[in-house]
Structure 1
């Protein structure tokens, strides 16, 4: 690992490989593994991450939108790519790049059928998304008859999988709800198979599902946050490795006298002599204002240094009183200590939001690639 000379998101491919093998080890040998690449691969670098995952042998990829899948195709990804939230506006482009849509409503089904017919497709692969309790996207169970009647009248598309999404697989207090979701998905998948006359493959589990409900792994699992080093539980996090480490440097150090203030709106007022350091990143880089006012710490030469005052657009100030440091020294914003989960928790949010929010203007570097 090199020392940072500017604000840098360091991407560790050795950590990525470790996390993949850890999660893969929870599964049966013949269970397919889908790697989720949406949101720039959780804020890192989707193209490079996907190429590494393809080399490691993953079976499928998923993105949120067609644009993300097209970028992966252009980068050289040849494995199947599931588009989780395709928009009808992009259906023709989706087909032209051999992406596989999630079909989640009656309207979307009819619109995709129309597009597939227009483009003279035969047995184009699609995935049926069912809502089993998350209430975000997905057909209702009562839609099954409508779906199968429409499908029997055409040969433009073919259902290759049925899937759903667990709402609270990381929460032990919601185990009964999760088990009801699994049971509902079982019933839906069986009914679809009977009415279609063949059995599409099934997938339900996300990262926490893999860890907590491996008995419901079906034919494939989907992992996003786990690949990037977070398992939604402190004990699991200890066994995973963070892929993204956000580093920056000290631009300037100030000696602040009693009664002096720091930053916009004079939000931090000193009661005694303090030393502060200014860092070249801010809310435009994904470190929002909620992390200011002494809520959150970074690490300077192994020591905790809390953010003081309001986070600025391009800068934050930290209290380095009593810490041996100088201008140009490296600062760890998150990674190993604090982890992205620890950092995010100080602002009552989660690692997902923090990681995916890191601005694309932050330089990315790669180790172990």
Structure 2
């Protein structure tokens, strides 16, 4: 059984109005920078299993099977549909939180207006969106058996979509499974988590290290796919196919930029810190043990570790905001319950208001010179705006 609204309804219906406002803010924030997929993710959509099972080729194999034409318009429509579905899940999570915890309205609004949503809108077509959707869907089942199955099956699918799933989103999936299992005791938790974990680690190792091509094979695949595509396939997506995680990590360490890492944390901190603070306060109120607290921290912050495996530092930190938001919702639903989060709101509301303004106005480097546009979002070139205006 799947129940998005598992708490008893309160008599006060202000949460509905709050949710509608959050939806508006999510849309408003997305319009700052939403655009069509850039060449790199568009190229990943084209990759398939023509040369065997290789990493990151599941989506392309489903979308463009056999000898079917590879259409950029199709990639655009699918990418926008994926992004809109992710926005729907973010809004649904907001409704779930606000229905039982309307006192957290500013916290939810803080995320809805944050750099995380801006960055997700700027990166339509990236498989990160699908992985986040998988994470949100995996925590919906309320029964123990369905939760285990959802983590096992959806986690396995996520690995074939992108091998970084095991670091990016699977810790939050495991956290939700752990919470369902912990009441059965350590003797149940350990073997279940160990079995599911072993399956996922094995799949990740195989896909990331064995599901790769030589440089020559990757170039041959690119040439064969180019004959079917109606847009130019750049080299980068195919270079990824011939690179192992160890090689990527080694190159990242050799070119590490400490200032960029610090700058990225500063960008997300006005939103990340309050989300984490409320999560840990809710854990303390729910009398969570130390293992649960550590698991929650790992679930929330795991994407940050990807900064040592790839160059897109802001990308990982913005995704960490999203996983922290999901972790908070899990803690509120499954540990704290309908009890209000006990905070000195009269003292912290001014601070949260300032942080909301800072978080909503934060600007940072995106991809290929993409800017965060100011209202009414028509002042800079936008593929989508041009498309809607018929230019």
Normalised-by-shorter TM-score class: under 0.3
TM-score (norm 2): 0.26
TM-score (norm 1): 0.27
The structure with the larger Rg is 1
The structure whose residues are more often helix, as a share, is 2
The structure whose residues are more often strand, as a share, is 1
Relative CO higher for 1 or 2, CA cutoff 8 Å, sep ≥ 6? 2
